[in-house]
Amino acid sequence: MVAGLVCAAGTSLCYGIGSVLQGVAAGHAPASTRLDPRLLLRLMRAWRYVLGLFLDGAGFVLSLVALRWLPLYAVQSVVASFLAVTAVAGVFLAGTRVRSRERSALLVVVLGLALVGLSAAPEPARALGTKAQWLVLAAALLLALVSVVSGRQQGRRGAWVLGGVAGLAFGVVAVAARALSSSWQGDLLARLHALVGSPASYALLLAAPVALMTYATALQRGTVVQATAPLVVGETVLPAVVGLTLLGDHARPGWGPAAAAGFVLAVGAAVLLSRFGEVSTPPSDGQA
C-alpha cells in the first residue's frame, strides 16, 4: 500500500508541474475558434508543452502502478492534489506567489489525503466485466462527440465546458486503465491478447487524445484557473463513483466515514486551490 501511495503522489507531482508548463505553452500558441486537432501539432513544437506532456505520460505510468495496490478513489484523490503541486510549481516556473489562504488550502489537501490514505484497503485490481467495458467505450465515444460541439464555446464558458469534458475524458482514461490493470497477467503474448481484445483498450486510446485536445483548447479560452477546476472535479469524482459501484473498491472496516471526509476535503480544497492555478506568461524567448 505504501508503494501505491508513493506512486500516486508521484503522479500528482508530474501532473502538477506538467499543467504549468502546458498552460504557459498554450498561452503562446495561436488560438482557434473550434476544437482543432492541429493545435496539438502546433504545441508539439513547443518545448514546454512537450516536457509537460512527457511528465503527464510518466504520471500516467505511475498511476497504473498505484492502481495495482490501491482503490481507484484513493488514487484519484491523491492525483487531485496536483493543483497543490501547481501552486508550488507556479512559484518557481511562473513567478506566482503563495498567499495565506492558499497555504491553508494546501494544509487541508494534505489532511484530506492523509485520511484517504489511512482508510484505503490494499487490494488487487478487480476485473471489470465485458459489458461494463463496452459502457466505458461508449462513454469515450460520447465525450468525443460532445467535445466537437463544445469546441464552439468561447471565453470563460468555453474554458469551463471544455475543461469539464477534459476531466471526464481523463476520468474515462483512469477507469479504462484500472480495468486493463486487472487483466495484466500471464506472459507477454497473453497480455497483448488481453489488450487487443478489451474494449477498455480502445476507450483509453480514444479518451486520451480527446482529453488532451479539450484541455489544450480550454487553456486558450480562459485562464488556467477556469480550465483546471472542472477538470479536477471530472477526473476525480467520476472514477471514484465507478470504482465504488462497479470495481468493488472499499475502505478498511470502520474507516468509511474517514474516507468520505478525506475525499471531500482533498477534492474540495484542490478545487479552491485552482483559484491559485493562474500562471503568468514568462517573457518570450522565441519559442512557445
Question: What are the Cα distances from residue 111, in Å, to 81, 105, 238, 268?
Answer: 11, 10, 22, 12
Mean pLDDT of 10-24: 86
Reported as a single tens digit per residue, the pLDDT across 136-152 is: 999 999 999 999 988 88
* Mean pLDDT confidence for 256-261: 84
Q: What proportion of the chain, given as a percentage, has pLDDT over 90?
A: 15
Among 177, 197, 179, 199, smallest CA distance to 189 is for: 197
| pTM attached to this predicted model | 0.75
Could you read off the pLDDT of 164-214 as tens digits, one per residue? 899 899 989 888 887 776 666 656 666 677 677 789 889 999 999 999 999
pLDDT value of residue 280: 44
Residue 92 scores a pLDDT above 90: no
Amino acid 33: pLDDT: 74
Q: What is the pLDDT of residue 142?
A: 95
Q: Of 96, 66, 102, 111, which is closest to residue 84 (Cα–Cα)? A: 102
- Could you report the per-residue pLDDT of 45-89, keeping only the tens digit for each? 899 999 999 998 899 889 888 877 777 777 777 777 776 777 777
Q: Which residues contact 281 (CB under 8 A, 6 or more apart)?
A: 24, 27, 28, 94
Helix axes 199-221 and 2-28, enclosed angle (nearest 10):
50
End-to-end CA distance of the chain: 40
DSSP per residue, 157-208: HHHHHHHHHHHHHHHHHHHHHHHHHTT--SSHHHHHHHHHT-HHHHHHHHHH
